[in-house]
Amino acid sequence: MNKKRMFYLDPPKILVLGFSFIILIGAFLLTLPAATVDGKGLPWLDALFTATSATCVTGLVVVDTGTTFTLFGQLVILALIQIGGLGFMTFATLFALILGKRISLKERLLIKESLNNLSIDGVVRLVKRILIFTAVIELIGGILLAIRFSFDMPLPKAIYFGFFHAISNFNNAGFDLMGDFRSLTGYVDDPLVTLVVCTLITLGGIGFIVMNEVYEYRQTRRFSLHTKIVFVMSSILVVFGTILIFILEYHNPKTLQPLSPLGKFLASLYQAVTPRTAGSNTLNIPDLTQPTLFLIIFLMFIGASPGSTGGGIKTTTFATLLGAVWSNIKGKEDVIFFRNRILYDTIYKALTVTVSGLFVVMMITMLLTITEPNKDFLMILFEATSAFATVGLSMGLTPELSPVGKILIILTMFAGRVGPLTIAYAVTLHRKPDPFKFPKGKIMIG
């Protein structure tokens, strides 16, 4: 019985192993000669890094995607992005439904865990809608971007570029094909590209549960507390992020100063939206001022919303912590949002997720200062946060990482995508409540 328990694969273990398996397959494919332009394939460590970044929808790269990979290699990366963004359980469910297979209770629990849903009720229906939402959004985004790109390149290439960047940005991955690590800097003041990509990033980052509630609103005429908090917190972060970046970069001759008033606004908006774990950029990140870089680190750490294609500690986690702090300052016992009391278990989980995230970022930053001794501290902190929050924005450190540094970032991206708590649960043999309670003790805080 104990041996069975030891090897029992509960949902967290399956998710960790599932993502690991997909990454290894992707890495193997990228080492094939057909994957790279030079016909040699990527070295194993670089292939593992790229596959992890794509599957964890991060976007950090050690080689330039547009110039290094062949069409085959780029399609492998695109497939990993799509599977990693939606979750491998979503695709497993799709294949099961196509084959007419019944979804078991254990599989429904896996889907619930994968989507970070609150219950197993209606999860299969939710998966079906996720696939439809994804197809429609990526199709519209791909068409709009292809139309714009067609003015700069041949139509077949514009169509391919349009759909690649639509899929990459909806899944908050940030991979691009523009070459020379440029991302979308060539379209910094382009309204169509900026607004379409920002919309794709936002829709991918608010979460499929929220998208489903918006879809059902005509029938239900109500939003859950979760959706309300996501809308409010996401709006606050984007609005204040845009305003602060506009102010901080307004006189920077390397970023906003040369642009028109509309260009300044579009660039500020884009750089406020993309830290929500997207990773593409229209301003050169190393050219930003230090206050802006620190702001982006803060936004990256918060990240997207639960059940989305993005990472970070999530908007609801941050909102819960703010609510707990405010309630404590006001001397109130309960945390109240929209006339709803937040359970203590939720507050404890929010605190655990945040502290775990801070610990990972701090530990990886410290280790990178050892493995990359000649690099600027802010650059290292920026890269570590970007990896943990699966953002993909970079100050240029990733392509210059040592082999040990690459391994550290690989582990950080994996932990950020799967979640520190999921990994902790996966490596724990079994969890059970304490058989008795200890006496209460008091300590002084603050």
Q: Where are the alpha helices (DSSP H) in 171-306?
A: 191-206, 208-220, 225-249, 261-273, 290-302
Does residue 446 form part of some domain? no
With a pLDDT cut of 70, the percent of the chain lying above it is 83
Residue with tokens 């439904």: 97
H or E stretch including 341? strand 340-341
Q: Determine, yes or no, domain membership for 212.
A: yes
Higher pLDDT, 349 or 45: 45
- Residue 6 — very low, low, confident or very high, per pLDDT cuts 50/70/90? very low
Residue 335: pLDDT above 80? yes
> What six digits make up the tokens of 402?
């040592």
Would you state the pLDDT for residue 209?
A: 84
CB atoms within 10 A of CB 42: 24
Within-domain flag for 359: yes
Model pLDDT for residues 173-190, shown as the tens digit of each residue: 889 998 888 889 999 999
pLDDT of the residue at 250: 94
DSSP state of 337: E
- Calculate what percentage of the chain has a pLDDT beyond 90: 50
Number of domains, the chain: 1
pLDDT band at 137 (very low <50, low <70, confident <90, very high): very high
Amino acid at position 211, single letter: M
- DSSP lists the bridge partners of residue 337 as 340
- 439 assigned to some structural domain: no
pLDDT for 83-131, tens place per residue?
Answer: 888 775 665 666 565 655 666 666 666 666 555 665 666 667 777 788 8
Domain contains 435: no
With a CB cutoff of 8 Å and minimum separation 6, the contacts of 408 are 364, 367, 368, 371
Give mean pLDDT, residues 400-417. Answer: 91
- Rounded to whole angstroms, the Cα distance separating 160 from 155 reads 9
144 is a domain residue: yes
At residue 148, the pLDDT reads: 94
Residue-wise pLDDT for 309-334, tens only, equals 778 888 999 999 999 999 888 888 88
Please state, in angstroms and as integers, the Cα–Cα distance from residue 438 to each residue in 352, 434, 435, 441, following that order. 21, 9, 10, 9
Q: What is the pLDDT of residue 3?
A: 44
pLDDT attached to residue 418: 76
What pLDDT, on the 0 to 100 scale, is given for residue 1? 41
Residue 123 domain boundaries? 7-427
Distance CA 309, CA 134 (A): 11
Residue 349 has pLDDT above 90, yes or no: no
Would you say residue 220 has pLDDT above 50?
yes
Judge whether 395 lies within some domain: yes
Q: What is the pLDDT of residue 129?
A: 82
The residue with greater pLDDT, 35 or 102, is: 35
How much is the pLDDT for 328?
Answer: 86
Q: In this predicted model, which residue has the larger pLDDT, 338 or 29?
A: 29
Residue 438 in any domain: the answer is: no
Tell me the average pLDDT of the chain: 85
In the prediction, which pLDDT does 345 show? 85
